[in-house]
Chains A and B, each alone.
Chain A
Amino acid sequence: MPTFVYMTRCDGCGYCVDICPSDIMHIDKTTRRAYNIEPSMCWECFSCVKACPHHAIDVRGYADFAPLGHSVRVHRDEEKGIIAWRIKFRNGKKDMDLVAPITTKPWGQFIPQLRDVPAPSAEQRNSQLLYNEPKYIRMDDGGLHNLQSNGLELKEGVYY
C-alpha cells in the first residue's frame, strides 16, 4: 500500500514532492528527508518511486493482502524509453526481471508544435472534423464511414 522512504538514501531533493498526485510526499523539516504524510490517501501509483533519483522510496502491500517480505522495485528511463521492474516473491521462489517500452520515439520530439503548423482553413473550421482529420482516422485515402454513407439515422436524446 503506502510508500515509505529509506532515510539513508533520501537526500531531500524533493522530486517526489513535485510529482505526487495526492500531494502527500513532503519533506520533514527536521530531518530534511521525504516522508508520506497521509498513507491512507496514497494511490501506490509509484510516481514518486519512479521519480526518485536515488531509489529511496519503496512501497509495501496492504497488510491484509500481502504480508511483508515481497519486493517490487522499478527503474524508469526516458532517454532509453524503457521501464524495468524487479519482482521478488516473499516465498523466495520467484525473482523476475521485466522490461517494457514506455515510448517508441525520442521523448517528446514527435509531438507537433501546433503554433507552427498551417492554420485551419475556413472550410475546416466549418466542418465537423478535428485536427489531422480525416487523414488520421484511416491513415490512408479510403473513404470515411458516416451515417449517410451507411444509410443510417441517429436517434436524438436519451430514450428507454
Chain B
Amino acid sequence: MSTNYKTIVEDNIDVLVVGAGLGGTGAAFEARYWGKDKKIVIAEKANIDRSGAVAQGLYAINCYMGTRFGENNPEDHVRYARIDLMGMVREDLLFDMARHVDSAVHQFEEWGLPLMRNPKTGAYQREGRWQIMIHGESYKPIVAEAAKKSADKVYNRICVTHLLMDDAKENRVAGAVGFNVRTGNYHVFKSKTVIVGAGGASNIFKPRSVGEGAGRVWYAPWSSGSAYALMIEAGAKMTQMENRIVLARFKDGYGPVGAYFLHLKTYTQNCNGEEYESKWFPALEEMVGKSYLDTEASHVSHRPIPTCLRNHAFISEVNAGRGPIRMVTMEAFQDPHLEEIGWHNFLGMTVGQAVCGPLPT
C-alpha cells in the first residue's frame, strides 16, 4: 500500500447515504422517487451487493402486518411491541414503521423476492403472527440492484468515520468523511442531507463459549456500532436505545432460530431434559408486575411474554447450574418437508449453522 494517500472530494451531493445495508439501499431507492433530479450518493464499508446484516440472506420477514389479508392492523403491532419491550417504546415510531412495512414487502415481491405462500389461504406463509417466510438468499442483492438503479454514484469500501458539521448553519450536518479501507485514501462527501444507515453494535455482548467458536453469534462480525458513534458525535439525540438485541446461543448452535421455534415448533430444554422457562415466571411476575407478565392472561389472550423476561429465565437456569440449554429438533425433523424448510432456513441466512449440522441434540 502506498503511503501517498489522496484526498478525494465529492461535492454538491443532495442526499448522502452512509452505510448501505438493507436500510441504506432502500433509502437510496425511495430518495430517488422524491428527488428525481437530486444527486444521491452511497458510501458503504463493504460492497453493497453483499453488505450489512442481510448480506448472507434472510429467510423471513419478521414484521409484516397483512392488512391486505385481514390479519393485523398497525395498531395491533404497537400493542404487541409495547408489551414485548415492557413499555419502553416510542409508539409513534412503531406505528410509523408498521403502517408502511406492508407496501415495502409488496414491492420486494414485485422485484422478484420469492415470498412463500400458504397453499390453503393464498396468503403469505406465516411463521408466527408477525413473521412471513421467504426464500431470501438474495434479499440483499435484489435490494442492492434497486439502489444501484437509483444512486448517481456508489462508493464501495469507504468506512465513514465522522459526520461534517455545517460552518454556515448551526447544528446542521453538511456531509461526512471517511477512508477507503483498501487504498487508505481520504474521502470527503459534502452533502445537503445525510442518511446514516450504518450498523449497530450487536456484538457488544459476547457468548462465553470457548475454542474456535469463541464469541461467535450469527450476527455479522463487522457491526461495530458506527451508527451510534456517528450520530452521538454529531450531537444527535438517540432514541429507543433501551432495548439491545442479544443473540442467545443454544448448545452446539449459533443460528437464528425464529423459524425453528415458530414454524418447526422446536422447543428448549435444560440439561435434565426439562422445560425450565415457566418455573421462573412466578418470580419474574413479582419482579415486573402483572401489567407486563401475567401468565394466565398470556395463556388465554396470546399476549406475549416479554422477550427480555424469557431470556432472563434462560440465564437464570444456566446460573442455577442446569445448563446448557438445548433446542430440541427431533420431533420437527420427523416430517421431511419440515426438515427441508429447516435446512433452507439456515442455508439461506447462516450457512455456518448448517455446516455444524442442524442443531444436533
Interface residues of A (CB under 8 A from B): 1, 18-23, 41-47, 59-66, 70, 72, 74, 76, 78, 81, 83, 85, 87, 89, 96, 98, 100-108, 110-115, 117, 119-120, 125, 130-140, 142, 144-147, 150, 152, 154-160
Size bin of chain B's contact surface: 35 or more
Number of residue pairs A-B, CB distance < 8 angstroms: 212
Query: Are A110 and B111 neighbours in the complex by a CB distance under 8 Å?
Result: yes
Interface residues in B100-152 (C-beta closer than 8 Å to A): 100, 102-103, 106-107, 109-114, 135, 137-138, 142, 145-146, 149-150
Judged by a CB distance under 8 angstroms, whether B308 is at the interface is no
With A72-B354, A111-B146 known to touch, is A102 a contact of B114 (CB < 8 Å)? yes
* SS class, residues of chain A in contact with chain B: loop
Judged by a CB distance under 8 angstroms, whether B192 is at the interface is no
Complex CA–CA separation, A52 to B222 (angstroms): 22
A-B contact pairs, 27 of them (CB 8 A): A1-B352, A43-B55, A43-B56, A61-B352, A61-B355, A61-B356, A62-B211, A70-B355, A72-B347, A74-B347, A76-B137, A81-B112, A83-B138, A89-B357, A100-B348, A102-B114, A103-B142, A106-B112, A115-B32, A117-B33, A130-B100, A132-B103, A133-B103, A137-B100, A145-B74, A146-B99, A160-B88
Query: Are A156 and B92 neighbours in the complex by a CB distance under 8 Å?
Result: yes
Q: Which residue of B lies closest to A94 (CB)?
A: B357
Contacts of B138 in A (CB 8 A): 76, 78, 83, 102-103
Judged by a CB distance under 8 angstroms, whether B210 is at the interface is yes
Query: Are A115 and B106 neighbours in the complex by a CB distance under 8 Å?
Result: no
Q: B95, B137, B210, B220 — which one has the most chain A CB atoms within 10 A of its CB? A: B137
Set A89, A112, A136: member contacting B103, Cβ < 8 A:
A136
